[in-house]
Structure 1
Amino acid sequence: MSLHLKAGSVTFENVTKKYGAVTAIDDVSFSIAPGHLVTLLGPSGCGKTTTLRMIAGLEHASSGRILIGGKDVTNLPATDRDVSMVFQSYALFPHMTVGENVAYGLTVGGLKKAEAAERAEEGLALVGLAGYASRLPSELSGGQQQRVAVARALVLEPEVLLLDEPLSNLDAKLRRKVREEIRDLQQKLGLTAVYVTHDQEEALAVSDRIIVMNRSIIAQEGTPRELYEAPSSAFIADFIGDANLITGEVISANHEKAKVRIDSIEYELPSRGLRIGSAQIAVRPDSILLEPAQGSSGPGSSVSGSSESGSAGAKDQIGIRGNVTHSTYLGNQMHYSVDSPLGELFVVDYRIDNAIKAGSDISITFATKGMALIAP
């Protein structure tokens, strides 16, 4: 015997969910292709967990349609949907063995105990816990308990696997390990998975696509790279990785490229439909290049500085004068807070052997790789 796992699609068509006068989900539409892992990401209260619970059938839409594997399940109860959920709390029965926990859904569904036990062993083998069936959950680490919860979901052979903040109870180092295991398993089995988290790094690491939610709607969806490198708004730029939001000016533009002036420096960036005039620019912390200032120009003046190869696109090798207000050593990187004519900047620098002390005057340039124009 072997598990028969099949991947189904998930579709939301203009789905709204209201609790009285409160709108938790507002006219949301999206599609998830079979075999893809899609993450619902956003701050607390954005609607991501409500969306997951509606896929599971634990909440029902006020309007719109929900389809799983092409089948309309909008009004079906959770028991009639071909999905399984991995909960944040694991929800393992402490008095049952690991094998009994994994087999629980099968036995409740009427499968004979011997067959359920065999399926449970297969599920445990899939998650790297072969031979653990006789142990109690209390004898396992947090990461192992999470894998038991995944195995319990997989043995039900769902079309869609749902994961609700599955790593939130693990420490940082273990989170990295377990998220890699979940991603590897999803890809190996070709599962369709919907993954909820508020952790941006986690979403970037595991997802084929990310749906970012904010205030009950979809703020942006795309691949991890698209969201990080081409955020559609200031909210996305700041939420998907840190971003410094600064003001510049588009001085010329066509349908592909724009020439942008920041203080006295000119850069060429993808135009993203922006026209000539004032513009907001998202700059990643590791795309801000700091060098010791030369000369004695006053604050706001342009001074000479080395911009390195990463700042290709600047008109001249010129920097903006600034001052380091805080300097923090974090092992493999330095974090700086910088006072500048553009406002306060957060900077990440991997040159730890040449750290800049707080109070130092510096020259600021930018690497265009980490800059993006933001639509107004």
Structure 2
Amino acid sequence: MNGLKTGSVVFEHVRKTFGSFTAIHDLSLTIEPGTLVTLLGPSGCGKTTTLRMLAGLEHPTDGRILIGGKDVTMLPANERDVSMVFQSYALFPHMTVLENVAYGLESSGLRKAEAREKAEAGLALVGLAGFGARLPAELSGGQQQRVAVARALVLEPQVLLLDEPLSNLDARLRRRVRTEIRELQQRLGFTAVYVTHDQEEALAVSDRIVVMVEGRIAQEGPPRALYESPASSFIADFMGEANVVPCEVVGVQGAEAVVRLGSLEHRVPGRAAQPGPAKLAIRPNAIRLAPADDGGLKGLVRHAAYLGDHVEYEVETEVGTLYVVDPDVERSLAATTPVAIGLHNRGVAIITA
């Protein structure tokens, strides 16, 4: 392989309709070269339609799509300089691993010997040197996924597209393969657009995450920003569980706001908060449980579940029932135990929508 190209991706006011149904509403998005950007959202949010338009498998109703500065809006898939890694891997079962990886190269007119040489290099890139003579059925699910990635990379696309690439793997294998994909992308520096509905997966692999809801961008940004500063109740709950409860902003001091949550006051990042009623997103692990006489928000344990490395509680309070994840497995608070609730500095954010 001579080295991968890398290109930017730009969606300019893209809209996609299917009959009377609008799947994508006025999408504008820029993906910088050499970054991995994940399109994340629930089923039906438009993320797969967006990826298919980028791949050339669908065409926009309105707007433009540019790859590496070139308008590809109406170009067919084979003229877009992108490669797709499919959810199902789409490997040919009767071909060897090497033949699978070389297939696209040979189909594009490359001499067989040169295609095989590039295919061997592609397998080495993904840690499968020496596996070329095997059939796909002789590989594990994770190895088959790496073959699919190698087959896409040897075409040296400007942009690599990954459509739910880990959904067919078990949980432990997903963690390992997502790490391999991320390390490979960072090492080679190619541009990647990754589609998933799995929030943890998106947090683990992305430079930026674009959360989509009903064909629109709900919020975009680095993983930490979306997790720690959600812009809405939906984002707070979708990007990992969150308790969303009413609060009162009682003061704003520089970059911080003072909020009142029942009988508890707490400082949080201000995010241009205005005094008055608001909502507070509280991550389950941002809640601190203390003896009832410690002050703070009063609560009553309604349910406790020991899960090995943490204990989960449901605690009834004056602002609603809170879901709590407590790493202190040495203590176990039984149901009906009265507690005082405090908050850690991280994992608490004011939301505005």
**Shorter-chain TM-score range:** over 0.9
Partner letter of residue 332 of structure 2? A
Structure 1 residue runs without a partner (length 5+):
294-303, 306-317
1:268 match: secondary structure: strand
Structure 2 matches for 1:114-193, cutoff 5 A? 114-193=113-192
Query: Residue in 2 aligned with 1:269?
Result: 268
The more displaced of 356-365 and 79-88 is: 356-365
Q: CA deviation at 1:81?
A: 0.3
Distance 1:79 1:139 in 2: 30
- The normalised TM-score by structure 2 is 0.98
Distance 2:336 2:107 in 1: 67
2:308 match: secondary structure: coil
Query: Residue in 2 aligned with 1:238?
Result: 237
User: Contact conserved, 1:255 with 1:273, CA < 8 A, in 2?
Assistant: no
Q: CA deviation at 1:4?
A: 2.5
From 295, 305, 318, the counterpart of 1:341: 318
Structure 2 matches for 1:57-136, cutoff 5 A? 57-136=56-135
Q: CA deviation at 1:80?
A: 0.5
Q: CA deviation at 1:324?
A: 1.4
From 307, 319, 327, the counterpart of 2:296: 319
Q: CA deviation at 1:367?
A: 1.3
Query: Residue in 2 aligned with 1:365?
Result: 342
1:132 match: secondary structure: coil
Partner letter of residue 204 of structure 2? A
2:346 match: secondary structure: helix
Query: Residue in 2 aligned with 1:328?
Result: 305
Structure 2 residue runs without a partner (length 5+):
none
- The normalised TM-score by structure 1 is 0.92
Structure 2 matches for 1:278-317, cutoff 5 A? 278-293=277-292, 304-305=293-294
2:131 match: secondary structure: coil
User: Contact conserved, 2:83 with 2:155, CA < 8 A, in 1?
Assistant: yes
2:297 match: secondary structure: strand
Q: CA deviation at 1:116?
A: 0.9
1:194 aligns with 2:159: no
1:280 match: secondary structure: strand
User: Contact conserved, 2:261 with 2:297, CA < 8 A, in 1?
Assistant: no
Residues 75-126 of structure 1 deviation map (CA, whole Å, 9 limit, x = unaligned):
1010100000000000011111000111111111111111111111010000
The more displaced of 223-232 and 2-11 is: 2-11
1:36 aligns with 2:35: yes
Query: Residue in 2 aligned with 1:298?
Result: none
Distance 1:371 1:240, change over 3 A: same
Distance 1:164 1:359 in 2: 47
Distance 1:366 1:201 in 2: 23
Q: CA deviation at 1:175?
A: 0.4
Q: CA deviation at 1:253?
A: 2.0
Partner letter of residue 366 of structure 1? L
Q: CA deviation at 1:254?
A: 5.0
Distance 2:342 2:160 in 1: 46
Distance 2:69 2:299 in 1: 57
Distance 1:279 1:255 in 2: 18
From 311, 331, 337, the counterpart of 1:354: 331
The more displaced of 39-48 and 272-281 is: 272-281
1:203 aligns with 2:202: yes
Distance 2:81 2:255 in 1: 45
Distance 2:248 2:171 in 1: 41
Q: CA RMSD in A?
A: 1.0
Q: CA deviation at 1:255?
A: 5.5
Partner letter of residue 340 of structure 2? S
Residues 17-38 of structure 1 deviation map (CA, whole Å, 9 limit, x = unaligned):
1001111110011111110000
Query: Residue in 2 aligned with 1:17?
Result: 16
User: Contact conserved, 2:41 with 2:47, CA < 8 A, in 1?
Assistant: yes
User: Contact conserved, 1:292 with 1:360, CA < 8 A, in 2?
Assistant: no
1:51 match: secondary structure: helix
2:204 match: secondary structure: helix
What is the total number of aligned residue pairs between the two structures? Answer: 353
Partner letter of residue 299 of structure 2? G
Sequence identity (%): 64
Distance 1:181 1:330 in 2: 28
User: Contact conserved, 1:255 with 1:272, CA < 8 A, in 2?
Assistant: no
Distance 2:297 2:255 in 1: 27
Residues 42-78 of structure 1 deviation map (CA, whole Å, 9 limit, x = unaligned):
1110000111111100110000110000000001010
